[in-house]
Chains A and B, each alone.
Chain A
Amino acid sequence: MRTPRLDVGKVDPPSFRRVAAFGGVYSNHLALEAAIADARSREVDAMVCLGDLGAFGPNPDRVFPLLREHRIPVVRGNYDDSIARGLDDCQCGYTDPRDNHYARLSYRYTLSKTSRENRTLMATFPAELRFRLGDLEVLACHGSPRRTNEFLWESTTPTHFLDKLAADAGADVILGTHTGIHWTRSWDADTGGRRTYVNAGALGRPANDGRTEVWYALLEVEGGGLSVEFVPVAYDHRALASEMRAEELPEEFVATILTGWWTTCLEILPGKERAAGRW
Chain B
Amino acid sequence: MSAVATHLRPDPLPARMSKALPIAESAASPSAVEVPRVPLRALDQLWFQVSGTVCNLRCGHCFISCSPDNHSFRFLSRADVAEHLRASVSLGVKEYYFTGGEPFMNREVLGILEDTLALGPATVLTNATLLPQRTVDELAKLAHASIYSLELRVSIDGVNAEMNDAIRGEGTFERAMEAVGRLARVGFLPIVTAMQTWPDEQTDRILRSFRRVLAEVGYDRPRLKILPPLRIGAEAERDRPYADVERVNHEMMSGYPADQLLCSSARLVTAAGVWACPILLDYDSARLGDTLKEAVRRPARLAEQACYTCWVNGAICANLPGFTADAT
CB within 8 Å of B: which residues of A? 76, 78, 81-82, 88, 91, 93, 95-101, 127, 146-151, 153-158, 160-161, 163-165, 252, 263, 266-268, 270-275, 279
* Least CB distance, A191 to chain B, in whole angstroms: 12
Q: Are A161 and B93 in contact (CB under 8 A)?
A: yes
Known: A95-B320, A156-B148, A158-B148. A271 touches B4 (CB 8 A): no
The answer for the CA separation of A91 and B121 in the assembled complex, in Å, is 24
Known: A81-B327, A156-B121, A158-B119. A98 touches B189 (CB 8 A): no
Most A C-beta atoms less than 10 A away, residue of B42, B90, B95, B149:
B149
Q: Are A155 and B324 in contact (CB under 8 A)?
A: no
The answer for the CA separation of A78 and B89 in the assembled complex, in Å, is 29
A98's contact among B5, B94, B319, by CB below 8 Å, is which?
Answer: B5
B327's contact among A91, A95, A273, A274, by CB below 8 Å, is which?
Answer: A91
Known: A164-B92, A271-B149. A91 touches B4 (CB 8 A): no
The answer for the CA separation of A270 and B7 in the assembled complex, in Å, is 14
Q: Are B151 and A150 in contact (CB under 8 A)?
A: no
Specify the chain A residue showing the minimal Cβ separation from B42: A146
Specify the chain B residue showing the minimal Cβ separation from A82: B327
The answer for the CA separation of A101 and B88 in the assembled complex, in Å, is 37
If A270-B319, A272-B149 are given as contacts, then 18 extra A-B residue pairs at C-beta distance below 8 Å, sorted by A number, are A88-B14, A95-B321, A96-B7, A96-B8, A98-B4, A149-B323, A149-B326, A153-B149, A154-B147, A158-B120, A160-B90, A161-B92, A252-B2, A267-B8, A270-B149, A271-B149, A272-B148, A273-B149
What are 16 A-B residue pairs whose CB atoms fall within 8 Å in the complex? A95-B8, A95-B11, A97-B6, A100-B11, A127-B328, A148-B328, A150-B323, A153-B149, A158-B148, A160-B119, A160-B120, A161-B92, A161-B120, A268-B320, A270-B121, A275-B188
The answer for the CA separation of A273 and B143 in the assembled complex, in Å, is 13
The answer for the CA separation of A267 and B11 in the assembled complex, in Å, is 13
The A-B contact count (CB < 8 A) is: 113
Q: Are A271 and B320 in contact (CB under 8 A)?
A: no
Q: Are A156 and B6 in contact (CB under 8 A)?
A: no
- Scan residues 273-316 of chain B and give those whose CB is less than 8 A from a CB of chain A: none
The answer for the CA separation of A263 and B221 in the assembled complex, in Å, is 12
Residues of A within 8 A of B14 (CB): 88
Q: Are B148 and A96 in contact (CB under 8 A)?
A: no
- B1 is an interface residue with CB less than 8 A from chain A: yes
Residues of A within 8 A of B228 (CB): none
The 7 nearest A-B residue pairs measured at CB: A164-B92, A158-B120, A81-B327, A155-B149, A270-B149, A271-B149, A148-B327
Residues of B within 8 A of A263 (CB): 1
Q: Are A155 and B148 in contact (CB under 8 A)?
A: yes
Most B C-beta atoms less than 10 A away, residue of A99, A101, A157, A270:
A270
Specify the chain B residue showing the minimal Cβ separation from A79: B327
Q: Are A156 and B221 in contact (CB under 8 A)?
A: no
Q: Interface residues of A: mostly helix, strand, loop or mixed?
A: helix
* Least CB distance, A264 to chain B, in whole angstroms: 9
The answer for the CA separation of A275 and B150 in the assembled complex, in Å, is 12
Specify the chain B residue showing the minimal Cβ separation from A165: B92
Known: A158-B121, A270-B151, A275-B187. A149 touches B4 (CB 8 A): no
The answer for the CA separation of A101 and B326 in the assembled complex, in Å, is 21
The answer for the CA separation of A96 and B2 in the assembled complex, in Å, is 14
- B10 is an interface residue with CB less than 8 A from chain A: yes
Specify the chain A residue showing the minimal Cβ separation from B150: A271
Specify the chain B residue showing the minimal Cβ separation from A141: B328
- B223 is an interface residue with CB less than 8 A from chain A: yes
The answer for the CA separation of A147 and B44 in the assembled complex, in Å, is 13
Residues of A within 8 A of B121 (CB): 155-156, 158, 270
Specify the chain B residue showing the minimal Cβ separation from A272: B149
Residues of B within 8 A of A95 (CB): 8-11, 320-321
* Least CB distance, A254 to chain B, in whole angstroms: 13
